[in-house]
Structure 1
Amino acid sequence: MIESLDPHLGELLRRWPGRFCHRALLVALHAPDPAGPQLLARALVDGIAAEEDEHQVYENLLAEGHFALAETVLTDCAALDRARLDDLSRRLETVRLRRHAQLLARLEESARRADLAGIEAPAADRDELAARCRESWPEAAAALTALEDELAAGVAAGRAALTARLAALPDAEEDWADACRRLIEAGRLRAARSLLERSDDGRGGPATAPPLPEWCWKDEPAELLRWHLDPATRRAPSFAGWAVRQGSAEHRLLDAYQSLQLAGGAQPAVDFAAALDEFLGASPGEGPRPHTAHPVEGGHLTRLFGVFADEDLAAFRPAGDVDLFVADPGTRAVPALPGLAPFLAVGWGLDGRGYAGRSPAAVLDLRSLLRLVAVRRRRAVGLLRVAGPQWPLAAFTGGRVFAEPKSSWRTLSWIVDLSGLGDLGTAASLAFETGLHPDLIRLFLDHLLRSPRRLPADAGALPRWTDDAQLTAALRTAVLAPVRGNPAAEAAFWAALSLRTGDAPVSVNEMMREIALVSGRVDPVREADLWAGAARLAALPVVREVTPAGVLLDDNGVLIGLAADAGKHLAEALERLAVESPGQDRPALDAWALHRHLLTPGLAAYRADPGPERARALAEETGALPLDGLPLGGEADLLGVLGRMRPAFETAHPGVELTLAVPAGTVAAVHADVLRVLLYELLGNAAEALGASGGSVSLRAESAQGDVTVEVQDSGPGIADTAGGHRIFRRGFSTRGPGRGDGLHRARTLAQRADGDLLLAARQGLHPVLRGAHFTLVLPMV
Structure 2
Amino acid sequence: MSMPLRDLLADWTDRFRHQAVLVALAADTEPDPEQLARALLDTYHGPATPTEVYHRLLEAGEFELADRMLTDCRELREDAADLRQALGGVRAVAGEAVRLKVGELRRRAEDADLTPPPEPDIDELGERAHLRTAPVATRLEQYERTLDRDIAIAVETLRGSIRADERSPAQTAYVEDLLTAGQLRVARAVLEREPPGALLPEAVPQLPAWRTAFDPEVVRQVLVDPSAPRVAEYRRWEPADPDARALLDAYDDLMSEEGCTRQAVVVFTSALGRFLGASHRIRPVSDRPDGAGFMTSFDGLFAEDPLRHFHETGRVDLFVAAPGQPGLPGDLAGLQQCVAVGRGLEPSGYLGGEPCAVLSTRDLLRLLPLTAHRPTAMLRLLARQWPLTVLAGRSPKDLDRLLGSGETRWRRLRWIVDLAGLGDAVVVDEMESATGFDTGLLHTMLHRAAPGQPRTALLPGGRFASWQGDTDLVRAMEEHLMSRCQDEASLATFWAALYVAEPDGRVRMDDVRAVASMVVVTGKDTATAVAAGAAALAADGILRPGGEDDLWLLPRAKVLGLLARHAEERLTHAVARLPAVTAAEPADAQSALLAQLSDWHINRHRLAPDFAAYQALTGAASTDSDELLSTARQVLAQTEAGDRLAPDGTSLLDQVLRELAAELSAAHAQVEVDIRCPADAYAALSADALRVVFYEILENAAESVSSIGGGTVQVIVQIDEPDLVVDILDSGKGLVGQFQDRPTLVFRKGRTTKGPDRGHGLHQVRSILADVAEGPAEITLGAAGDAHPTLRGVHVHLDLPQRAGRVGR
Question: TM-score category by the smaller chain?
Answer: 0.5 to 0.7
**1:500 maps onto 2:494 in alignment:** no
Tell me the equivalent position of 1:66: 62
Note the 1:360-375 alignment, pairs <5 A: 360-375=355-370
Please say if residues 308 and 317 of structure 1, whose CA atoms lie closer than 8 Å, have aligned partners that are also in contact.
yes
Q: Residue 92 of structure 1: CA displacement? A: 1.7
Distance change >3 Å, CA 460–CA 479, structure 1 → 2: same
2:340 partner SS:
strand
Offset at 1:295? Answer: 4.9
Give the letter for the 1:115 counterpart. Answer: E
1:54 and 2:14 aligned: no
1:169-216 Cα distance to aligned partner (Å, 9 max, x none): 21x333333332222222223322322220327523534545434447
Letter matched to residue 186 of structure 2: A
Q: Matches of residues 77-96 of structure 1 in structure 2 within 5 Å?
A: 77-80=73-76, 82-96=77-91
Partner of 1:671: none
> Is the aligned partner of 1:396 residue 2:409?
no
2:318 maps to which of 314, 324, 338:
324
Q: Distance in 2 between matches of 1:293 and 1:314?
A: 30
Cross-structure match for 2:568: 570
Contact 1:213 1:374 in 2 (8 A): no
Question: Matches of 1:40 and 1:159 in 2, distance apart?
Answer: 48
User: How far did 1:494 drift?
Assistant: 0.8
1:277 counterpart = 2:277: no
Find the partner of 1:155 among 147, 151, 155.
151
Aligned to 2:301: 307
What is the one-letter code of the residue matched to 1:568?
H
1:38-75 CA distance string (max 9 Å, x none): 33333333355573101111122122221111111111
How far does the alpha carbon of each residue in 1:272-331 deviate from its partner, in whole angstroms, 9 at most, with x for none? 222212322334433xx4344435453222222332344432332324332222122333
* Partner of residue 101 from structure 1, selected from 79, 96, 104: 96
Deviation at 1:19, TM superposition (A): 0.6
Partner secondary structure for residue 344 of structure 1: strand
Query: What is the one-letter code of the residue matched to 2:415?
Result: W
Judged with a 3 Å threshold, the aligned counterparts in structure 2 of structure 1 residues 478 and 67 are, in CA distance, closer, same or farther, namely same
Q: Where do 5+ consecutive residues of structure 2 fail to align? A: 585-809
RMSD: 3.8
Instruction: State the Cα deviation string for residues 577-604 of structure 1 (Å, max 9, x = none).
Output: 3x455894499xxxxxxxxxxxxxxxxx
Q: Would the aligned equivalents of 1:177 and 1:202 in 2 still touch at CA under 8 Å? A: no
Which ranges in structure 1 are unaligned for 5 or more consecutive residues? 588-782
Q: Equivalents in 1 of 2:249, 2:222: separation in Å?
A: 12
**Structure 1 CA distance for aligned equivalents of residues 126 and 23 of structure 2:** 20
Cα separation, partners in 2 of 1:210 and 1:116, compared to 1, 3 Å: closer
Separation of aligned partners in 2, 1:575 and 1:105:
35
Q: Matched residues in 1 for 2:507 and 2:446: separation? A: 31
Say which is worse superposed, 411-420 or 133-142, in terms of deviation: 133-142
Aligned length: 569
Matching residue's letter, 1:299: G
**1:254 equivalent in alignment to 2:260:** no
- CA gap 1:199/1:310 in 2 versus in 1, 3 angstroms: closer
Matches within 5 A, 1:562-641: 562-577=560-575, 579=576, 584-585=581-582
The AA in structure 2 aligned to 1:75 is T
What is the identity percentage for the equivalent residue pairs of Structure 1 and Structure 2? 32
SS of structure 2 residue aligned to 1:103: helix
Q: 2:171 aligns with which of 167, 173, 176?
A: 176
Show the 5 A alignment for 1:449-464. 449=450, 459=461, 462-464=464-466
Tell me the TM-score normalised to structure 2 length: 0.63
Q: Which of the residues 472, 475, 478 maps onto 1:473?
A: 475
User: Does structure 1 residue 267 correspond to structure 2 residue 268?
Assistant: no
In structure 1, the partner of 2:354 is: 359
| Contact 1:538/1:546 (<8 A) preserved | no
Aligned to 2:442: 441
Secondary structure of the structure 1 residue equivalent to 2:546: strand
Aligned residue for 1:548?
548
> Aligned residue for 1:761?
none
Whether the 8 Å CA contact 2:155–2:184 is kept in 1: the answer is yes
Distance in 1 (CA, whole Å) between partners of 2:507 and 2:527 is 15
Residue 602 of structure 1 corresponds to which residue in structure 2?
none
Could you say if the C-alpha distance between residues 193 and 220 of structure 1 is closer, same or farther in structure 2, counting changes exceeding 3 Å?
Answer: same
Q: Deviations over 1:426-447 (max 9, x none)?
A: 3343344333332222222234
With normalisation by structure 1, the TM-score equals 0.65
Corresponding letter in the other structure for 1:468 = D
Letter in 2 for 1:139: P
User: Does the C-alpha gap of structure 1 residues 471 and 266 become closer, same or farther in structure 2, counting only changes over 3 Å?
Assistant: same
Equivalent of 1:490 in 494, 504, 510? 494
CA distance in 2 between partners of 1:313 and 1:10 (Å): 78
Structure 1 residue 245, shift from structure 2 partner = 6.7
Between the aligned partners of 1:324 and 1:222, the Cα distance in structure 2 is 21
User: Compared with structure 1, are the counterparts of its residues 193 and 537 closer, same or farther at alpha carbon in structure 2 (3 Å cutoff)?
Assistant: farther
Contact 1:303 1:321 in 2 (8 A): yes
Where 2:319 maps in the other structure, the secondary structure is strand
Structure 1 Cα separation of the partners of residues 455 and 280 of structure 2: 41
Distance 1:569 1:141 in 2: 37
Equivalent position to 2:131, from 109, 132, 135: 135
